[in-house]
Structure 1
């Protein structure tokens, strides 16, 4: 029993020490489900640092709720190079319906078209396989303005295709850095005759 625990701890520790996100840019669909509605959305993820991605999500229920989220996410590998978990947060804004309770009359006032602003948190797992990224996440929203409910949560499933692989992105970054360094070196070289040229 102790051996199994030690083996599990070793594997998890090794997994956390390496980051193995296999893509640079991924684009696809996100299906969201909450107590209030079901949404269909567009999700794009862009790797901006070895363990960091930016994700933009635009989603709607094609009725009374449409939101846009911009999230910063931190990734950690889990058990294998293609399977990892992530967490993060960011801002969300949109047009949503709201339910306001009036205890004195025992009424619920339902409004829609409310311009909302809030904070989104996110946590999930993802699997990169055969040029695609499949993820399952939970995305709670904390309302700052525009809606009566302070908190709403949503479970989402995303399927994204890899547009740019991580190694291709790194190669382009190295090429740009190399060209930049070459330009700096060529501009810093001065000849003896340059000192005697008149301005």
Structure 2
């Protein structure tokens, strides 16, 4: 009986939360990453650019030997509603990282750090917008192109971002800009010239 009651309360809370949630336009928060080599804490910022596309910037560090910056173009697909979706993306990454080189002759691992790296990040995850917060879980593999011995490193991340600009507000501003642009285009050329000289006087 207690289990059923608990489940009912959780489902009710989840349904109410989804009803009150807002799709975000701009969101900023923290990301916690974990890989086989190290754990990181960083900043994550997401900006919605179209209905299904967003840009995410991730700056993260273990505050010792590894600091990276990634810029990802991400595509979102709704699962239950527009506020609960899965997403995937790709983008460049840069950083200062440690590297491990295996020497087959001596059977030792040469550890270097301070290596300037450049590569390509992929990302795939689940995302829920609830109570003005975007919570996501993702997997972010990195393909190294320059500066590190390991070609591939994978990282699991958990992010929590506050919604700074809601999607409705962003769309409203875009419509206002478009209307202002349309109005300026409708003004005849001779009126624009008159207005220009009137300002000078």
Residues 80 and 138 of structure 1: is their aligned pair in 2 closer, same or farther, counting only changes over 3 Å?
same
Deviation at 1:187, TM superposition (A): 3.5
- DSSP-derived class of the 2:150 partner: coil
- Which residue does the alignment assign to 2:44? 43
- Which residue does the alignment assign to 1:107? 108
- DSSP-derived class of the 1:49 partner: coil
Aligned partners of 1:21 and 1:77 also within 8 Å: no
Residues in 1 aligned to 2:22 and 2:144: alpha-carbon distance in whole angstroms: 31
Residues in 2 aligned to 1:58 and 1:131: alpha-carbon distance in whole angstroms: 22
Residues in 1 aligned to 2:27 and 2:85: alpha-carbon distance in whole angstroms: 15
The alignment's TM-score, normalised by the length of structure 1, stands at 0.84
Aligned partners of 2:22 and 2:131 also within 8 Å: no
- DSSP-derived class of the 2:49 partner: strand
Residues in 2 aligned to 1:147 and 1:156: alpha-carbon distance in whole angstroms: 21
Paired residues in the alignment total 171
Deviation at 1:21, TM superposition (A): 7.9
Deviation at 1:81, TM superposition (A): 2.9
Spell out, residue by residue over 1:123-172, the C-alpha distance to the aligned partner (whole angstroms, 9 max, x if none).
Answer: 00000000000000000000001000000000000000000000100000
Runs of 4+ in 1 over 2 A off after TM superposition: 187-190
Matched, 1:141 2:142: yes
Matched, 1:182 2:186: no
Aligned partners of 2:58 and 2:69 also within 8 Å: yes
- Which residue does the alignment assign to 2:92? 91
Alpha-carbon RMSD: 1.4
Where does structure 2 lack aligned partners over 5 or more consecutive residues? 1-20, 192-201
Residues in 2 aligned to 1:118 and 1:179: alpha-carbon distance in whole angstroms: 41
Residues in 1 aligned to 2:190 and 2:152: alpha-carbon distance in whole angstroms: 61
- Which residue does the alignment assign to 2:124? 123
- DSSP-derived class of the 2:180 partner: helix
Where does structure 1 lack aligned partners over 5 or more consecutive residues? 1-19, 191-199
- Which residue does the alignment assign to 1:76? 77
- DSSP-derived class of the 2:37 partner: coil
- Which residue does the alignment assign to 1:171? 172
Aligned partners of 2:22 and 2:166 also within 8 Å: no
Aligned partners of 1:83 and 1:128 also within 8 Å: yes
Residues in 1 aligned to 2:179 and 2:190: alpha-carbon distance in whole angstroms: 17
Aligned partners of 2:140 and 2:154 also within 8 Å: yes
